[in-house]
Amino acid sequence: MAVVTFLSDYGLDDDFVGVCHGVIARIAPQVRIIDVTHGIARHDVRSGALVLRRALPYMPAGVHLAVVDPEVGAQRRAVALRCADEERVLVGPDNGLLSLAAERFGGVAEAVDVGRSALRLEPVSASFHGRDVFAPVAAHLAAGTIALAAAGDPIDPAELVTLVLPHARATADGLVAHALQADRYGNVVLDAGHEDLAGSGLMLGRAAIVNGRRALYATTFADVPAGGLLLYEDGYRVLSLAVNRGSALAELGLALDDELLIAPAP
Amino acid sequence: MAVVTFLSDYGLDDDFVGVCHGVIARIAPQVRIIDVTHGIARHDVRSGALVLRRALPYMPAGVHLAVVDPEVGAQRRAVALRCADEERVLVGPDNGLLSLAAERFGGVAEAVDVGRSALRLEPVSASFHGRDVFAPVAAHLAAGTIALAAAGDPIDPAELVTLVLPHARATADGLVAHALQADRYGNVVLDAGHEDLAGSGLMLGRAAIVNGRRALYATTFADVPAGGLLLYEDGYRVLSLAVNRGSALAELGLALDDELLIAPAP
Amino acid sequence: MAVVTFLSDYGLDDDFVGVCHGVIARIAPQVRIIDVTHGIARHDVRSGALVLRRALPYMPAGVHLAVVDPEVGAQRRAVALRCADEERVLVGPDNGLLSLAAERFGGVAEAVDVGRSALRLEPVSASFHGRDVFAPVAAHLAAGTIALAAAGDPIDPAELVTLVLPHARATADGLVAHALQADRYGNVVLDAGHEDLAGSGLMLGRAAIVNGRRALYATTFADVPAGGLLLYEDGYRVLSLAVNRGSALAELGLALDDELLIAPAP
């Protein structure tokens, strides 16, 4: 069964997600739709890109629709991309949202600009391209009634917008990592994994110093008392900071992209 | 594939929506369910009616279940309606919720009262008619196992409850419109479209005065700075007011149905 | 069509629910997934168990996945259970979450520990067993590609964790009931039904005294004015307390498990 997965910042309070489902179902009744999430913070392209990258490997290969689109109606391109690996197809705005997932699946093998695609719902509104541009393109591609090359105008994959992420680095004082993303509980995802701590002297089960605060480098929340700061590998194998029953974001006074120095406790 | 679409004010925090899905799946396993939204403000029949009217044209024709039902358990009727256009069937309380969508699809060709329908789940609770009355009726109708006439007692379509909406009107001072609906960002939907501004002298890209406040009559949010007031056609081709990164509802001190005077800036 | 139902406390803001859908769809593309709710309060095992018990009878019989799992990564067992009635299969943590539903369907006829199941996604994370353990086990069982006995190590059903709920009791002063659960409106579910009031002298439509406060023993919210306290049978045929357009939880100052004395008004 062909699949369209769908991620957005539309939320579920309004009918935007439902209407996109309807548009897809009208064009491609036999296609299954799987919602990744619609809870991306409004206009937060980077969080959308990070969530898309981590979630798609768990999704059936298919057409992956993603809409976090602060510049809708302005000049950004609308694109559909075929990845080198698994023939996965990504559909959405060309603002970096798709770039991390594309990289995860071997890079972009073929790209088309669908902003003028004949597959659009006419008349195209200025503000709801999820319904009028992206959902219909995704539906036709998933239904297999049209080839990617016929869905829009060819573009050079090298011209697509990409996101620049900070990079964790090992220093003499410890690992310098960055706050990449926070969830609603104030848990903070870093740009590092277990392996980046290899040379730091920090060991699982031992205390660490994170920006001057004592933390436990641990496996689960249950390893620290309520209020305790925890450095751990999250469900996606990425280092994260959390406060058991609290907010690491608030307690460490972090903003996104802030640097964090992580070292073993003396 | 037969389709039931589903709109309500149940929210997703509880199991109400899930249970209605279950009821439909038990009766009609082969029917697909598409959620329009369950985020209608609690008991806000008019918002539900407006969202249903604008969303259904994007949905496959089928059975359209809608439940915003402040008078459940009291005297209001439970109904199923066949529209003149596209054979669309609407199922829900007879409180006006279905009336705008019915009008959009050519009016009601046939109506039955399903409050005593043999299709109900017995015993019928006093407060959860979504599960006990509306979902089972919708499921049976979508499965095609019963004709509408057999699902309840015939009623005269002229007796159905309808909603009275305010009407925008052109005056010597400008267009008098009304605040019909607001979303969670404080964007305000008006009861007018581009065409209603035709004789007002206001032109796209030019400044307007809205209740004494300066606004730009524009295409997208990107056309005004943060904090700027914007008069624009929303994704459903209806005039709306917004403040870029703010709340038009709050900044203009609007309540629903309030009048707005819209005129070109001098 | 085989069905997996899914209840959790993951919420919909993140990709956790979507990723579990993806995992199931990859393993068992032909299986239908029905979301019961993902709005259980975080880590609230008892509310999850109560909602599961009341919702499952309305769901098609199948595999019922439930994840409210505060001790994930610690010592609690992961289990799959076959109920005596309707061959329903429950999958989730062994912390009592499944116990009320199991009891509702005739008790547990067969149980296996799936914590080391060969069906898991490797490598298993410390914190996301919904994705790595429970969803894959549920998917394989729903697809029918494996028998329950082959999905894990057999365990004695008598060793499963069960929840102890308070019990309403009739006294000389009236019915002593307990606050079992509250929803987001502050409506409070009690551990009693109409039948428990049989000997109390209280009659439908008459005034009652609840913890010293006057209430109406009524059928629907419409029976009391705004601000009025209401004792009623909820949509699941359980006695509940509500304040029309208010919060019974707040107005009565209740915490969960608090005792309530319910008697006829003099």
Which residues, numbered 133 to 162 in chain B, qualify as contacts with chain A under a Cβ-Cβ cut-off of 8 Å? Answer: none
The pLDDT tens digits of the residues spanning A19-72 come to 999 999 999 999 999 999 999 998 999 999 999 999 999 999 999 999 999 988
CA closest to A51 among chain C residues: C15
Collect all residues of chain C within an 8 Å Cβ-Cβ radius of residue B30.
Answer: 1
Query: Does the pLDDT of residue C111 top 90, yes or no?
Result: yes
Judged by CB atoms closer than 8 Å, whether chains meet at A127 and B221 is answered as yes
Query: Does the pLDDT of residue B103 top 90, yes or no?
Result: yes
Collect all residues of chain B within an 8 Å Cβ-Cβ radius of residue A73.
Answer: 219-222
The pLDDT tens digits of the residues spanning C26-76 come to 999 999 999 999 999 989 999 999 999 999 999 999 999 999 999 887 789
CA distance C119 to chain B (A): 27
Instruction: Write out the two tokens for A135.
Output: 């959902």
Nearest to B261 by CA among B167, B166, B178, B165: B178
CA B16 from centre of chain: 20
Model confidence pTM above 0.90: yes
Q: Is A204 on the interface with C (CB under 8 A)?
A: no
Query: Does the pLDDT of residue B79 top 90, yes or no?
Result: yes
| Mean pLDDT of the region A87-94 | 97
| Mean pLDDT of the region C97-117 | 98
The residues, any chain, with a CB within 8 Å of residue A29's CB and separated by 6 or more, are B1, B32, B60
Collect all residues of chain B within an 8 Å Cβ-Cβ radius of residue C183.
Answer: 13-14
pLDDT of residue C139: 98
CB pairs under 8 A between B and C: 84
pLDDT of residue A201: 87
Collect all residues of chain A within an 8 Å Cβ-Cβ radius of residue C143.
Answer: none
pLDDT of residue A213: 95
Judged by CB atoms closer than 8 Å, whether chains meet at A73 and B219 is answered as yes
Of the partner residues C55, C222, C235, the one whose CB lies closest to the CB of residue B74: C222
What is chain A's mean pLDDT, rounded? 95
Q: Is the peptide bond before A123 cis (omega within 30 degrees of 0)?
A: yes
The pLDDT tens digits of the residues spanning A145-187 come to 999 999 999 999 999 999 999 999 999 999 999 999 998 889 9
| Mean pLDDT of the region B10-22 | 97
Q: Is B171 on the interface with A (CB under 8 A)?
A: no
> Could you give the ipTM of this predicted complex?
0.94
Query: For chain A, how are helix, strand and coil distributed in percent, rounded to 5?
Result: 25, 30, 45
The pLDDT tens digits of the residues spanning B28-62 come to 999 999 999 999 998 999 999 999 999 999 999 99
Name the percent of chain A lying above pLDDT 70: 100
Collect all residues of chain A within an 8 Å Cβ-Cβ radius of residue C22.
Answer: 5, 34, 36, 55, 58-60
Q: Is B6 on the interface with C (CB under 8 A)?
A: no
The pLDDT tens digits of the residues spanning C73-98 come to 778 999 999 999 999 999 999 999 99
Query: Does the pLDDT of residue B75 top 90, yes or no?
Result: no
pLDDT of residue B46: 95
Pick from B28-37, B109-118, C152-161, C188-197: least confident: C188-197
Query: Does the pLDDT of residue B95 top 90, yes or no?
Result: yes
pLDDT of residue C245: 87
Query: Does the pLDDT of residue A131 top 90, yes or no?
Result: yes
| Mean pLDDT of the region B169-187 | 92
Query: Does the pLDDT of residue B143 top 90, yes or no?
Result: yes
Indicate the DSSP class of residue B94.
Answer: S
Query: Does the pLDDT of residue A194 top 90, yes or no?
Result: no
Judged by CB atoms closer than 8 Å, whether chains meet at C126 and A60 is answered as no
Query: Does the pLDDT of residue C180 top 90, yes or no?
Result: yes
In angstroms, the CA A176 to CA A159 distance is: 31
In angstroms, the CA C255 to CA C16 distance is: 30
Of the partner residues B38, B184, B220, the one whose CB lies closest to the CB of residue A74: B220
pLDDT of residue C149: 97
In angstroms, the CA C117 to CA C91 distance is: 12
Element (H, E) at B179: strand B174-182
CA distance C116 to chain B (A): 31
Query: Does the pLDDT of residue B198 top 90, yes or no?
Result: no
Collect all residues of chain A within an 8 Å Cβ-Cβ radius of residue B5.
Answer: 18, 22
The pLDDT tens digits of the residues spanning C185-231 come to 899 999 998 889 888 889 999 999 999 999 999 988 888 999 999 99
Judged by CB atoms closer than 8 Å, whether chains meet at A12 and B7 is answered as no
Helix A45-55 × helix C16-27 angle, to 10°: 30
What is chain C's mean pLDDT, rounded? 95
DSSP annotation string for C55-86? HGGGSPSSEEEEE--TTTTSS--EEEEEESST
DSSP annotation string for C172-218? TTEEEEEEEEE-TT--EEES--GGGGGGG---TTSEEEETTEEEEE-
State the pLDDT confidence band at B221, using cuts at 50, 70 and 90: confident
